[in-house]
Amino acid sequence: MKLDVARESALKILYKIEEENGYANLVLDEYLEKNRERLSIKDVNFISEIVYGVITWKLTIDTILTKHSKIKINKISKWVRMILRIGIYQIVFLDKVPKSAAVNECVNLCKKYGYKSVNFVNAILHKVQKTDYEELSKMENEIERISKMYSMPIWIVEKLLHEYGSPKTEEICMYSNQRPKMTIRVNSLKTTVEEVKVKLEERKIEYEEAEFQNFLHLKKIKGVANLDLFKEGFFTIQDEGAGQIGYMVNPKENEMVLDACSAPRRKNDSFSRTYEKYRRN
């Protein structure tokens, strides 16, 4: 039996993230780097879709799983639980994946990672329908409805409702789950926006204007980090919002700025020592 490489890869990545409380992007990038020779661009894109999709919609997925399973989630083995999440995500949220393919491939995964639960996985996934998600909108309890529809923890929903009211809270939760556009920031030390536009057009890469200076949105592009323009430093990949922080802080000459969210940190590295010094002072 040959397993689908993308789905098995996604399973291993999600399992490691949950078991080791790992950063999703770091675990994903590490796995893709180690296995890049055997993974196609299509595989990489599908792996990323499943990994980030399951993480984003975990609360909602588990709600649907609970509906169809007589066994409590915490009693299901970790590998099987993750296989079910992968299957439910595909069935409910991915329109281009046939349900039969999602079910069959997850059953195949279960034969390797949870053989005793093959029939259980097969039965649960056959029960799952897209309408399971639609039914969540009919819940009478507003807090629970918003939480489960948008995979948002109860405490966040309660806080948002208290501060913004119902319509705005639902809007915030809805937009929080939307995939951001692929945004690039032109390296103004090396080139100009107009020059990058020309180079993108030469490569038949579609783009659209962004709201802020030196930013562009790329359309219908995959593997942007493999572009020669990226490798040669013509632009970096950055969200527009993140790109405005420097302007908002507006640092003056000779000021020291500590970026406390710059990256995951390790104990005793230079950043940690600097942070602890300024925290104590």
pLDDT of residue 275: 46
Mean pLDDT, residues 137-166 taken together: 96
What is the rounded distance in angstroms from the CA atom of residue 120 to the CA atom of residue 80? 9
CA 41 to each of CA 35, 38, 49, 180, 220: distance values in angstroms, whole numbers, following the listed order: 12, 10, 12, 20, 14
* Single-letter amino acid, residue 34: K
* Fold entry, domain 5-133: N-utilizing Substance Protein B Homolog; Chain A (1.10.940)
Mean pLDDT over 192-200 rounds to 95
Two tokens at 239?
């969200």
- 167: part of which helix (H) or strand (E)? helix 166-176
CATH number of 182-249: 3.30.70.1170
Mean pLDDT of 113-124: 95
Query: What is d(CA 197, CA 217) in angstroms, rounded to the nearest whole number?
Result: 11
pTM of the model: 0.78
Q: In the predicted model, what is the mean pLDDT of residues 243-260?
A: 86
Asked if 60 and 89 touch (Cβ cutoff 8 Å), the reply is no
Mean of all residue pLDDT scores within the chain: 90
Q: Does residue 108 register a pLDDT over 90?
A: yes
pLDDT, residue 279, reads 47
What pLDDT is stored for residue 2 in this prediction? 83
Q: Kindly list the domain boundaries of the chain, sorted by start residue.
A: 5-133, 139-176, 182-249
Give the pLDDT confidence score for residue 269 in this predicted structure. 52
Residue 69: is its pLDDT beyond 60? yes
User: DSSP assignment, residue 235?
Assistant: E
